[in-house]
C-alpha cells in the first residue's frame, strides 16, 4: 500500500525495531524479534519509496541496515549558541520571564538537547499553571 500511495515511511526511534540481531538468542521473544528485523530488511529492499529512520542509539542498529541506507545524517548536540536559541524558541511568547532569568546562562550551564530544553519549558509552564490554579478561586 505504501508503494501504491507513494508514501514516505518514517520509523521514529527505529532502534526499538531494527536492533542488532543475534544479541539475545536465549528466548523465543528474542528470536521472534530477530525474525521481524529480517522481514523489515527484506521489505526495505522491495520498497521503491523514501524511508526515514530516526534514532538516538544508532550504535544499536543491525549492521545490515547500513548497506540499505543511501544517506546517514548525524545531528550533534547543540552548542551553547544553539541552546540559547532553543530556549528562546520554546519560551511561550506571552509568558513574562522573571527579571533574573538569563537564558544565556541556562544555555552555558546545561548542555541539553533540543528535546530536553523543550520538555523543561513545558514542565515549567505546567508547574506555573498548577501553581496559579492552586492560588486562585477557580475549582479544579
DSSP 3-66: TTTTPPEEETTGGGTSBPTTS-TTSHHHHHHHHHHHHHHHHHHH--S-EEE--S-GGGB-GGGG
Going residue by residue through the chain (140 aa), what tens digit of pLDDT does each one get?
A: 888 888 999 999 988 888 777 755 567 877 888 888 888 888 888 898 899 999 888 888 888 888 888 898 988 999 999 999 999 999 988 777 888 989 999 999 999 999 999 999 999 889 988 888 888 755 44
Please give the angle made by the CA atoms of 133, 135 and 138, to the nearest 5 degrees.
50
- With 0-12 / 13-18 / 19 or more C-beta atoms within 10 angstroms meaning exposed / middle / buried, residue 124 is middle
- The whole-number pLDDT of residue 65 equals 85
Is pTM beyond 0.85? Reply is: no
Please give the angle made by the CA atoms of 22, 73 and 115, to the nearest 5 degrees.
90
- The whole-number pLDDT of residue 129 equals 85
State the Rg of the chain over Cα: 22
Amino acid at each position: 500500500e505504501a508503494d501504491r500511495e507513494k508514501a514516505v515511511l518514517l520509523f521514529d526511534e527505529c532502534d526499538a525495531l531494527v536492533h542488532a540481531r543475534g544479541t539475545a538468542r536465549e528466548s523465543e521473544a528474542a528470536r521472534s524479534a530477530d525474525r521481524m528485523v529480517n522481514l523489515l530488511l527484506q521489505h526495505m529492499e522491495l520498497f521503491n519509496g523514501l524511508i526515514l529512520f530516526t534514532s538516538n542509539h544508532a550504535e544499536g542498529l543491525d549492521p545490515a541496515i547500513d548497506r540499505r541506507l543511501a544517506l546517514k545524517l548525524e545531528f550533534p548536540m547543540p552548542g551553547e549558541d544553539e541552546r540559547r536559541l532553543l530556549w528562546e524558541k520554546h519560551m511561550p511568547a506571552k509568558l513574562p520571564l522573571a527579571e533574573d532569568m538569563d537564558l544565556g546562562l541556562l544555555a552555558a550551564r546545561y548542555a541539553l538537547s533540543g528535546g530536553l530544553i523543550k520538555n523543561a519549558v513545558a514542565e515549567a509552564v505546567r508547574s506555573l499553571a498548577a501553581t496559579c490554579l492552586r492560588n486562585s478561586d477557580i475549582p479544579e
